[in-house]
Amino acid sequence: MRPAVYKAWARAFHSNLQEPALPLEEYPSLQAFFIRSLKEGSRPIDPDPNCLVSPVDGKVLRLGQLRGPGTMIEQVKGFSYPVSSLLGATSSLHDATEEDISGEQTEQNVPESSNAKSWWRVSVASPKLRDRTLLSPKRGIFYCVLYLHPGDYHRVHSPVDWSIFKRRHFSGNLFPTNERAVRTIRNLYVENERVVLEGQWKEGFVAIAAVGATNVGSIKLLIEPELRTNNPGSMALHSQSYDERVYEPEGTGMMVKKGQEIAGFKMGSTVVVVFEAPLSKARGDGTVSSDFGFCVKAGDRIRVGEAIGRWSQS
C-alpha cells in the first residue's frame, strides 16, 4: 500500500523514483520517503574550485549583489527585507560598511544574555550590531534564494569548502513559503522559523539560512543532530530573538566540504545563501565590475552540486 502512495505523490509533485537510495517498500512513512536520501552519484558536484554550487534541488527565486548588511533583499516587487534581519544580530557580516563592499546592489527578479559552557553558548539577542569583520574592498556580497517544491529532494548540502563558526535558530512562524506566499506575506523569510549556519570559506564570509514552512518547520542538522526545531510553544517573543551555538574551537569551527550533506527539511521550504566572492577593478565611471558571475537566473531550476556562479582565477 505504501509504495502506491509514494508513487501517487511522485506523480503529483514530479519526483524521480529512480533516484531514492532504498526500494519504495522500505520507507516506513510518507515523511521518511519525503526526506529520502539518493543513490550515490545522483548529484555530481561541480569540481571547479572557483565555483559555488547549489546546496539544494529547487527553483531560483531571486539572486543578486548586495552593498552591505543593511541592504534590502527584494522578496517580491514591493516587499523587501534586510539581510541583517535574515541572518541575525550577531552575524559577522553586520559591521561591514558600504566602503568595505565597494559594490552596487543589483538584483534579478521573478535583550542579550549568554550562558557559556565548555563547548557552546546560547544567547537571546535583540537586533543590534556587533562582531566587526572587515571585508576586502575587492570582494562583493552576493545572495541566492532557492525554493524547494514538495516533490524535490529535501536534503541540504554544502555549497563550498568552508568552516562553520556559528548556528542560529530563530523560533518564528510557519507561514507557507510557496510562490503565492512570497507575493503576499511581507517579511516572510525573517518571520518564519529558520536555522542559519555562518562561517568562512576561501573567499570570505558565507551563510546559509534554511527557512521552515507551514506545518514543517522541522529542520534537521546532520552536524548537530540534537538540535530540535518546530517545538510546540517555542514561538519567539521577538521575531529577531534566537539561540546561538558557537562551534568549537572558536575561530576554527566545523570544517565541511563542498557537496557534503549538512541538513534536511521535512517539507518544502526555502534556502537563502549569502556569500562573498571576488570583485575586479573599478571601472572609469566609478562602479565596480565583478569577476564573479551567476550561472543561473531567476526562474531556473537547479540541482545539488550544479554551479550557482563562477569567477576567474586572479
Active-site residue set: 57, 157, 269
Query: Three-state SS across the chain?
Result: CHHHHHHHHHHHHCCCCCCECCCHHHCCCHHHHHCCCECCCCCCCCCCCCEEECCCCEEEEEEEEECCCCCEEEEECCEEEEHHHHHCCCCCCCCCCHHHHCCCCEEECCCCEEEECCCCEEEECCCCCCCCCCCCCCEEEEEEEEECCCCCCCEEECCCCEEEEEEEEECCECCCCCHHHHHHCCCHHHHECEEEEEEEECCEEEEEEEECCCCCCCEEECCCCCCCCCCCCCCCCCCCCCEEEECCCCCCCEEECCCCEEEEECCCCEEEEEEEEECCCECCCCCECCCCEECCCCCCEECCCCEEEECCCC
